[in-house]
Amino acid sequence: MAKATGPTYRVAFRRRRENRTDYEKRLRLVKGGLPRMVVRYGKEVIVQFVEYSDTGDRTLAAASSGALKKFGWAPRANVPTAYLTGMYAAALAKKKGVKGFVLDMGLKAPVRNALPFAAQKGAIDGGLESPQGKGMVDEGRITGAHIEEYAKSLSAEDFKKKFSSYEKEGFDPKEFIKLFGKAKEAILKEA
C-alpha cells in the first residue's frame, strides 16, 4: 500500500494510530461536563472516576478488583466482580463529592452483559447517577447465578480442574450467590 503524501496529508495522533484512543468519542464525553467512569479489564477489573482538566485528566477515585479480597470476595475478571468493583469505586467517589458520571468504555464494543455495563450498574446501585439502557445486564449474571449453576453441574474431577484457584482461596463457587450477597453488604456498609 502506498503512503499518503502531499500538502493535505495529516498524521493522526499517536494513540489513534495505535488504536488506543478514539478522540472524537472522548471529546463528546468530556463536553458532557460529568466525570467519566473508565472501566478497564484484563486479569483484573479496574474502575476509575476521571475528571477532565486542561493540564491533564485527574483521577478522582479508583478501585481495583484486588481490593475486594478484604470484603471476602475472590476476584476474577467476570461480571459479578465488575459489579462489585463498580460499587466499591462508587463508594470511594461519593466520598470525593462525585454525584453522577458517564460511562467511558474506550474502544470496547457495547455488548449486552459486558463487564463495563456491570460496573456501571454497580456504581448506580452504589448511589451515583448515570444514564443506562434497560436490560444491559441480566440480574442473574450480576449475582453469579450462571457460575454457581455451572459449578454444580460439573463432576468432581471437572470441578477441580475448572475451579481449583477458587478452592485455594477458600472460596466455594457452589455458593456463589450467597458469597456475592455477603460481599455486597460489606461494601455497602463501608460506603
Residue 3 in any domain: the answer is no
Question: Is residue 59 within 8 Å of residue 101, measured between CB atoms?
Answer: no
Residue 176: count other Cβ atoms within 10 Å of its Cβ: 23
What residue spans of 23-100 are helical by DSSP H? 23-31, 79-95
Per-residue pLDDT at 155 exceeds 60: yes
**Residue 11 falls within a domain, yes or no?**
no
Whether residue 85 is predicted with pLDDT greater than 60 in this model: the reply is yes
Predicted confidence band of residue 1 (pLDDT cuts 50, 70, 90)? low
Q: Into how many domains does the chain fold?
A: 1
Q: Flag whether 6 is in a domain.
A: no
Local structure of residue 34 (DSSP, 8 states)? S
Residue 12 domain-assigned (yes or no): no
pLDDT in tens, 124-141: 999 999 988 788 999 999
The H-assigned helical ranges of 4-155 are: 14-17, 23-31, 79-95, 115-125, 139-143, 145-153
**Residue bearing cell 468493583:** 85
- Dump pLDDT digits (tens) for 13-23: 898 888 888 88
Q: Which structural domain range is residue 53 located in?
A: 18-128+140-190
Which grid coordinates are listed for 25?
468519542
Q: At 122, which CATH number?
A: 3.30.420.100
109 assigned to some structural domain: yes
Residue at 41 is within a domain:
yes
Is residue 124, in this structure, part of any structural domain at all?
A: yes
Other CB atoms closer than 10 Å to residue 15's CB: what's the count? 12
Confidence of residue 47 (pLDDT cuts 50, 70, 90): very high
Is 9 within the bounds of a domain?
no
In order of 65, 154, 160, 165, the CA distances from 168 in angstroms are 18, 18, 10, 5
Q: Is 127 exposed, middle or buried (0-12, 13-18, 19+ CB in 10 A)?
A: middle
